[in-house]
Amino acid sequence: MRISKDTDGLRIMIVGCGKVGATLIEQLVKEGHDITVIDKSAVKIQEITNLYDVMGIVGNGASYSTQMEAGIEDSDLIIAVTDSDELNLLCCTVAKRVGDCAAIARVRTPDYSKEVGYLREKLGLAMIINPELEAAKEAARILYLPTALEVNSFAHGQAELIKFKIPDGNVLDGVTIASIGKNIGSKALICAVERDGDVYIPSGNTKLYHGDVISVVASRKYVKSFLLSIGVKTKQVKDTMIIGGGKAAYYLAQQLLHMGISVKIIERSQERCEELSVLLPKAIIINGDGTDEELLREEGIQTVQSFVPLTGIDEENIMLTLHARQVSDAKVITKINRIQFKNVINSLDLGSVIYPRYITSEAIIAYVRAKKDSMNSNIETLYHMFDHRVEAIEFRVEKASEVTDIPLMELSLKKNLLISFINRNGTIIIPGGQDCIKAGDTVMIVTTHTGFHGIRDILK
């Protein structure tokens, strides 16, 4: 891996300046990488180069001569996120033939998704990422645990980070975190608290109040019993209504049916309805306009237990969510593709909000950070929480270092940082002061610091 001379970052080529491309550029520039961007649209390249200190090239990212002009021979990584799966795969294939770089492709079509392992191996790709599938997985996790606003999984699904709002009159209202550990047990850890727009990494003395939004980490099998112990309902929903029949709707329906949740999809296009009824024989597919109040009432919006608008238009998704919250008690999940007007979106009570472009960019950034610093530890998983103000990072500890085999209470840790769990051979340990990190563990930290690359970054 070559490091660029004028920075300690990587040389990264990004093909495609759409929503995901722009999010990636913003984040990777912040992290100090040397970025070159390729897009067919001169207008998009102009916009991006005006906003960020990156090199922009107008052209076809899959063309050998364009890649040569962009400096593929000296690049460490190419990320292809155009609208076309085939073009993304071709960009990566050309780059792998010419340069000695890693390659990441965005691939969204269900046909290819079944073949991800094969494609990755045969084309030599570091990663294939599918935003719609990842968004659907996140939505399915939330519908399995509908009290949660967000559910993120770590340690290959063995541990979960759940975010929820403390209800009025709940047992957590007015108590300190230390006393929760004593009364409820130490199998779960509260690792972030949002109150009045500020986010804190709590200590044992932190007092919780109703209305606080908290993130709690626990092993997957213990999450439900923790929520029950604090009097929070945890039953998965029985049925769901999905508006829009695109790729994300297909992926979500497939997962929910597998979980035993019945699914109804309302889709405008007659042709797509016919396709879906073949692909999803157990789902009910309705051909109609999902923004029609009368149709929604007829199809049972008032009694359905969950409602997920997945149209391609953010404004429609938001209006449908607000409507569902007025007329029903359904658990609602809102998918938002653009991220302008974030403060306005946050001020609306939309329940759980999913941003596919963030899910995509986080997986890629985790890979980039791990590639940059792969000496003693690798990043397995990375999530941004509370509008990018907090990072939850899972590190794989490859070998002994200055953080291993020392009781945590004796480590000189940075402030605003919490070691949330240690995963040792598939067992999730919520650590106390006497516990040690060992080589071979994966360790999750939650922190308001950004840009951690390795486990040693936790030390002062």
Coil, strand, or helix at residue 416? coil
**pLDDT for 66 beyond 60:** yes
Strand 262-267 to 239-243 pairing: parallel
Predicted local distance difference test score (pLDDT) of residue 1? 33
Predicted local distance difference test score (pLDDT) of residue 142? 92
pLDDT band at 361, cuts 50/70/90?
confident
For the ranges 317-326, 340-349, 369-378, the one whose mean pLDDT is highest: 317-326
Give the residue-averaged pLDDT of 386-391. 86
Predicted local distance difference test score (pLDDT) of residue 184? 64
Q: C-alpha 278: how far from its chain's center?
A: 30
The candidate with the shortest Cα–Cα distance to 365, out of 104, 82, 93, is 104
List, in order of start, the domains of the chain with CATH numbers.
11-129 (3.40.50.720), 239-354 (3.40.50.720), 359-458 (3.30.70.1450)
For residues 60 and 388, the model is more confident at 60
Least confident of 217-231, 271-285, 305-319, 398-412: 217-231
Predicted local distance difference test score (pLDDT) of residue 5? 38
Predicted local distance difference test score (pLDDT) of residue 217? 94
Least confident of 16-30, 350-364, 394-408: 350-364
pLDDT band at 225, cuts 50/70/90?
confident
Predicted local distance difference test score (pLDDT) of residue 4? 39
**Assign residue 249 a region: left if phi > 0, alpha if psi is -120 to 50, beta otherwise?**
alpha
pLDDT digits (tens, 9 = 90+) for 78-95: 999 999 999 999 999 999
Predicted local distance difference test score (pLDDT) of residue 69? 94
Angle at 149 between CA 148 and CA 155, to 5 degrees: 70
Predicted local distance difference test score (pLDDT) of residue 78? 96
**pLDDT for 6 beyond 70:** no
pLDDT digits (tens, 9 = 90+) for 154-195: 888 899 999 999 988 888 999 998 888 776 666 889 999 999
How far lies 345's CA from each of 114, 134, 138, 335, 360, in Å? 34, 22, 19, 12, 20
Residue at 216: amino acid letter: V
**pLDDT for 376 beyond 60:** no
Residue 173: DSSP 8-state: T
pLDDT band at 350, cuts 50/70/90?
confident
**pLDDT for 48 beyond 90:** yes
pLDDT band at 234, cuts 50/70/90?
confident
Q: Supply the pTM of this predicted model.
A: 0.84
What torsion do the CA atoms of 432, 438, 442, 444 make, to the nearest 10 degrees?
30
Predicted local distance difference test score (pLDDT) of residue 373? 58
pLDDT digits (tens, 9 = 90+) for 394-432: 999 988 989 999 999 999 999 999 999 999 998 999 998
